[in-house]
Amino acid sequence: MSSNGYLKNRPVLSSAGLRPTHPVEAIDEFGAVRDMRVAGEFPLTIKVDEREVVTLMTLGTYPELLALGYLRNQRLIESVADIKAIRVDWERETAAVETHAGKGIIDWENKLAKRTVTTGCGQGTMFSCTLDKIYESLLPKASLRQSTLYRLLANIASYNEIYKQAGAVHGCALCQDTDIEIFVEDVGRHNAADTIAGQMWMEDTSGAGKIFYTTGRLTSEIVMKVAHMGIPVLLSRSGITYMGLELAQDLRVTMIARAKGRHFLVYNGIDTIEYDQIPRQRGASANQQVAAG
């Protein structure tokens, strides 16, 4: 992981990460016993000053950062400086968030008045305050070369270690050009995204000029998360939803999906892509050729 320098008064975090996979036995199609590994899945209830917020199902590898990123992306706490500590206790299945003020989430009743169950793996949740503030996240225009995208996809192919061992997880990455700065796997793509958000919040890392990669589909929930993180480009090897596309258009998020190897589809933000890997017709730029069909 890269770092832009930790905040001076960052929260104190416990170190309660679990191992991501667990040994089990399975019987194959020939009746033979095989030693296998499966992904972990554990409930984690986030509490702020002893008041329960939500229970997430998670791999458990970075529970403190997951709790931190969840609070950030849901806009339940506005500043990381308001948080004193996060302590995870797996026996109690809790992530206890302690604020400096000790008064919990400000305007709690209004912020948690309405919950929307999303299409996130394991049933993600969005609160009304998340939706209310999303249009504050209008993003600056991005710029991405086709050749850079190809190199980035080649680099990402070497990740997904937990998936290779056990399957059953999604991977997400924060990328700068062709470099993968943070890579996280979890049983739900929304958890992986929130964990990256927590790391960015702790390190005061800007999302400007970055690319967010996910193995999962691009839904409205993921678009909201990257917008809150200030990341202008969203990249996936999977597909998109119509609501996700409409939101990406509203927020100026470049949306690229079905991206694998040397194939990709730009659903939004074609003007941000420089096509530098296709033959050019005389007198026409690559982008003009793409626009012409």
- Given 85, 105, 131, the domain boundary residue is 131
Cα Rg of the chain, angstroms: 20
On whether residue 210 sits in a domain, the answer given is yes
Does residue 101 sit in the same domain as residue 26? yes
Does residue 107 sit in the same domain as residue 219? no
CB proximity list for 51: less than 8 A, separation 6 or greater: 104, 105, 108
Q: How many domains does the chain have?
A: 2
- Given 84, 102, 131, the domain boundary residue is 131
Domain CATH number, residue 62: 3.10.20.10
Find out whether 198 and 68 touch, Cβ atoms under 8 Å.
yes
Does residue 151 sit in the same domain as residue 288? yes
Domain CATH number, residue 189: 3.40.140.10
Does residue 151 sit in the same domain as residue 287? yes
pLDDT in tens, 257-291: 999 999 999 999 999 999 998 765 444 455 555 55
On whether residue 226 sits in a domain, the answer given is yes
On whether residue 181 sits in a domain, the answer given is yes
On whether residue 283 sits in a domain, the answer given is yes
If you average pLDDT over residues 32-41, what whole number do you get? 94
Does residue 163 sit in the same domain as residue 270? yes
Does residue 235 sit in the same domain as residue 197? yes
Residues in the chain: 293
Q: What is the structure's pLDDT at 161?
A: 82
- Given 82, 107, 131, the domain boundary residue is 131
Q: What is the structure's pLDDT at 278?
A: 75
Helix axes 220-228, 63-73, angle to 10 degrees: 90
Does residue 150 sit in the same domain as residue 287? yes
Does residue 160 sit in the same domain as residue 182? yes
- DSSP annotation of 113 reads S
On whether residue 167 sits in a domain, the answer given is yes
pLDDT in tens, 75-126: 899 899 999 999 999 999 999 999 999 999 888 777 666 554 444 544 455 5
Q: What is the structure's pLDDT at 166?
A: 74
What is the strand order of the sheet 170-176 is part of? 179-186, 170-176, 211-214, 233-236, 254-260, 263-268
Mean per-residue pLDDT over the chain, rounded: 86
Does residue 177 sit in the same domain as residue 253? yes
On whether residue 18 sits in a domain, the answer given is yes
Q: Which domain holds residue 46?
A: 12-131
Tell me the two tokens of residue 290.
Answer: 């793409």
